[in-house]
Every structure is written in structure tokens, then in C-alpha cells.
Amino acid sequence: MINPDIPLDEQTDALPYDIGWEFPLLVSFKLLVTKSCYHSDIEQVKALISELKILIHIGQHLNIVNLLGACTKDISKGHIFSIVEFCRHAWM
């Protein structure tokens, strides 16, 4: 259960990761980040997973860039992909 009196980012360990948000990886594309988990800072990987969990928990919302899905199939290789909605008049 999420405590509304505590910031959500401090409760991500209690949030489940819902595999229903996973996109199957059926297309080929260039990998933009080529670091593997073994050479990456484990805290950065944890932060990315925490962000995915928070976006899954929040769900669709008018005031945020919404998560459409994710692919963590190759997380052991350091590959974490998130699919978010396109923001026509913004750049990130």
C-alpha cells in the first residue's frame, strides 16, 4: 500500500513492476547507449526502474509525458527502453 504522506520516489521498492506494460521487441533499431550493466552505475539502473514503476503507478495523466510501454527483456545487458508519448511542441 502506498502512503500518501511519503513522497512516491521514496516508496518505489514497494511498487510492483507490471509486465503488462512491456512491449515485445520485434523490430531492429540502433542502440543509443552501449554501456552494459556491468560497467554502468547500478544506482542509475535502479533509478530508471524506479522511474518506470512510478509512471506505471501514476498511469495516464494530462500533465506528464505518459508511459506507453517498456522493454526490459535484456536488462542484464544494460538495455532498458521506455516508450513514451510524442510531445509535438516540446523537446526533452
Instruction: Check if the beta carbon of residue 23 is closer than 8 Å to that of residue 69.
Output: yes
Superfamily of domain 31-86: Phosphorylase Kinase; domain 1 (3.30.200.20)
Domain ranges of the chain: 31-86
pLDDT of residue 5: 93
What pLDDT, in 10s, does the model give residues 62-84?
888 888 888 888 887 777 888 88
pLDDT of residue 87: 73
Q: Taking 60 as the threshold, does the pLDDT of residue 26 lie above it?
A: no
DSSP letter string over the chain? Answer: ---TTS-GGGSGGGS---GGGBPP--S----S----TTTS-HHHHHHHHHHHHHHHHH-S-TTSPPEEEEE-TTGGGT--EEEE---TT---
